[in-house]
């Protein structure tokens, strides 16, 4: 039993255990990673993760105060996490998750020289937008670079009158069309949101609109800090989905597969990010909605510990796997994007709620948009249910887009609070579906932290409420943490597909009826 020598002889030691889980960048368990516990920069104990990514510290005798834990394997290391040991933790078990990320090398700077020219830049890899970029020679050379394709339009927008603005919108949409399709611009009613791949390219290009109240960042598009005054940045991303993509997978480079660079033929990556003025953004979404068969949009709100890039990639993957032919939109709030930032994320999700309300309020007023579907995951459900509670009456009004499906996946929200809000937010949509699991490790840790059940947990007390279809996904294989089944499990994606396509009530394919203490719910058949 590892023991820490107290600073004072009379200071009591506190005995506790730690269960650490080590995963890679795509959530797969990592074996052979070293997890180390530090006190005042001195290592106290260390354990290696097993084949399931688990490292267990049993019966540690620690002094009160702050301890630091870190996981590492080769050139990959996790964020440092604090463990504040107090007397109330005696004989307890602490659950901590570590995600390994590659140690970034310093940026490579290249001088202005004949060795690197705009012409050579245009002859780069096929996934790089072949356009001359002003100032590229004086910036770090990176694997991804946002390309603001609308920059030259912004100046013309400033002096354009109402008639000229409409022409500019049409002009730029036609310019963006090749990013999604190699065919001619579609006529009204065609499935312009369908991905098309050319013979030369080994990936599809998916157009994802976005709204975010994150602070813009030079290196990674948008950072993990809140924007000034809650300002929303709006725009368009083009995302590559490889032809070899497997349903439910979020392909990205992994050192354990000896992959060290992003390849659009193998991985889901962002090809470009373009920011837009609000008026242009709304007009662009409206015009593209008018070109789709069902004139609908799918808005995705991510959960805790997610970067902007991860949220956009997930939106593209879900839209692709659902064969969604409407307008995919990613709403990305300023998650701290690390496991130690849980409390910061809890405050940020409350802070973002009024911004989500204003964004959806403008979207549902677009003349060519008839239907909206909403999917929220984990902590993102807190913003969504509070938003819908405020907007229920607006969604029911005529003359604007109607909310058809609200999908609440693994909601990390207090079950009691969820029940209180359910009567109001369920009035907003034609159908509301709750997916819950008894094998969701992330929600189990959240319950331990909050000491009250979460709405996304199943079991004997699974939530069954009027106007909500509750579906238990406990028997669905859903990865190590059991928390990302909404986008990673084929059976769940298939159920969501049927929901969006037909709006059918349970029983749907693969579901069987079950009865719990709170009433009737549905379970996936193993």
Same domain flag for 216 and 337: yes
Do 419 and 333 lie in a common domain? Answer: no
Please write the tens of the pLDDT for every residue from 191-214. 344 454 544 578 999 999 999 999
474 and 427 together in one domain: yes
Interval 476-503 mean pLDDT: 86
**Residue 122 belongs to a domain:** no
pLDDT, position 112: 35
The rounded distance, in Å, linking the Cα atoms of 58 and 60 is 6
Query: What does pTM read for this prediction?
Result: 0.66
Residue 94 belongs to a domain: yes
Residue 252 lies in a domain: yes
Worst-scoring range by mean pLDDT, 138-152, 341-355, 374-388, 476-490?
Answer: 138-152
CATH code of the domain covering residue 43 = 2.60.40.1120
List the structure tokens of 382: 């807190």
Domain of residue 405 covers 381-526
Element (H, E) at 490: helix 490-502
For 416, residues 6+ apart whose C-beta sits below 8 A from its C-beta are: 452, 453
Pair 190, 248 in one domain: yes
pLDDT tens for 327-353 read 999 999 999 988 888 999 999 999 999
Last residue of a domain, one of 348, 369, 390: 369
Residue 473 has pLDDT above 70, yes or no: yes
Domain stop point among 73, 102, 131: 102
Specify burial of residue 55 (Cβ count, 10 A radius: 0-12, 13-18, 19+): buried
Q: Is residue 215 over pLDDT 90?
A: yes
Residues 297 and 151 in one domain: yes
CA dist 311 and 500 (Å) reads 21
pLDDT of 396 > 50? The answer is yes
92 in a structural domain: yes
Do 176 and 316 belong to one domain?
Answer: yes
Examine the domain organization and report whether 491 and 511 are in the same domain. Answer: yes
Shared domain for 176 and 251, answered yes or no, is yes
Q: Is 9 a member of any domain?
A: no
pLDDT band at residue 300, thresholds of 50, 70 and 90?
Answer: very high
Which comes out higher in pLDDT, residue 102 or 414?
414
Model confidence over 110-146: pLDDT tens digits? 333 333 333 333 333 322 222 322 222 222 222 333 3
Residues 167 and 211 in one domain: yes
* pLDDT at residue 34, rounded to an integer: 95
Q: How many CB atoms lie within 10 A of CB 398?
A: 5
Q: How many domains does the chain have?
A: 3
Q: Are residues 422 and 393 in the same domain?
A: yes
What mean pLDDT is predicted for residues 3-23? 72
Strand partners, 3: 61
Closest Cα partner for 410 from 387, 438, 431, 436?
Answer: 436
Q: Output the pLDDT for position 26.
A: 62
Q: What is the pLDDT of residues 63-97, one digit of tens each?
A: 888 889 999 998 889 888 888 888 777 888 888 88
Out of 302, 334, 369, a domain closes at: 369
Q: In angstroms, rounded to a whole number, what is the distance separating the alpha carbons of residues 469 and 407? A: 10
394 and 264 co-located in one domain? no
Query: Is 328 in contact with 193 (CB distance < 8 Å)?
Result: yes
| Cβ atoms within 10 Å, residue 417 | 14
Same-domain pairing of 395 and 338: no
């Amino acid at each position: 039993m590892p023991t820490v020598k107290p600073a004072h002889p009379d200071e009591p030691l506190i005995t506790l255990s730690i269960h650490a889980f080590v995963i890679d960048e795509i959530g797969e368990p990592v074996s052979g990673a070293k997890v180390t516990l530090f006190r005042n920069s001195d290592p106290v104990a260390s354990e290696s993760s097993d084949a399931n990514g688990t490292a267990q510290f049993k019966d540690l005798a620690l002094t009160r105060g702050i301890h630091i834990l870190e996981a590492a394997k080769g050139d990959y290391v996790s964020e440092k996490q604090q463990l504040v040991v107090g007397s109330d933790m005696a004989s307890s078990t602490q659950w901590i998750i570590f995600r390994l990320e590659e140690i970034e090398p310093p940026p490579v700077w290249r001088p202005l020289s004949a060795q690197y020219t705009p012409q050579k830049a245009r002859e780069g890899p096929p996934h790089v937008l072949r356009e001359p970029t002003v100032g590229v020679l004086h910036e770090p050379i990176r694997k991804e670079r946002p390309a603001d394709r609308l920059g030259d339009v912004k100046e013309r927008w400033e002096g354009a009158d109402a008639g000229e603005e409409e022409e500019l919108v049409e002009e730029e949409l036609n310019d963006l069309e090749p990013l999604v399709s190699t065919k001619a611009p579609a006529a009204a009613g065609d499935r312009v949101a369908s991905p098309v791949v050319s013979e030369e390219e080994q990936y599809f290009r998916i157009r994802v609109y976005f709204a975010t109240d994150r602070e813009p960042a030079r290196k990674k598009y948008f950072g993990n800090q809140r924007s000034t005054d809650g300002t929303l940045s709006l725009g368009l991303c083009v995302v590559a989905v490889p032809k070899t993509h497997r349903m439910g997978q979020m392909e990205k480079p992994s050192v354990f597969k000896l992959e060290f660079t992003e390849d659009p033929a193998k991985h889901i990556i962002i090809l470009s990010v373009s920011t837009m003025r609000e008026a242009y953004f709304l007009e662009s979404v409206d015009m593209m909605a008018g070109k789709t068969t069902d004139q609908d949009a799918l808005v995705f709100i991510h959960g805790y510990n997610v970067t902007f890039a991860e949220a956009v990639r997930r939106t593209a993957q879900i839209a692709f796997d659902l064969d969604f032919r409407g307008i995919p939109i990613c709403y990305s709030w300023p998650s701290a994007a690390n496991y130690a930032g849980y409390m910061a994320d809890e405050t940020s999700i409350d802070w973002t709620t009024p911004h989500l309300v204003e964004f959806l309020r403008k979207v549902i007023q677009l003349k060519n948009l008839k239907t909206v579907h909403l999917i929220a995951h984990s902590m993102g459900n807190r913003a969504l249910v509070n938003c819908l509670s405020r907007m229920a009456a607006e969604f029911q009004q005529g003359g604007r887009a109607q909310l058809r499906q609200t999908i609440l996946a693994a909601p990390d929200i207090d079950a009691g609070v969820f029940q209180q809000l359910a009567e109001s937010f369920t009035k907003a949509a034609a159908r509301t579906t709750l997916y819950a699991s008894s094998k969701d490790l992330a929600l189990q840790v959240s319950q331990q932290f909050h000491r009250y059940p979460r709405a996304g947990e199943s079991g004997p007390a699974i939530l069954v409420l009027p106007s909500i279809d509750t579906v238990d996904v406990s028997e669905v294989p859903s990865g190590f943490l059991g928390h990302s089944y909404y986008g990673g499990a084929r059976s769940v994606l298939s159920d969501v597909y049927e929901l969006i396509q037909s709006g059918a009530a349970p029983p749907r394919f693969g579901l069987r009826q079950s009865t719990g203490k709170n009433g009737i719910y549905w379970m996936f058949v193993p």
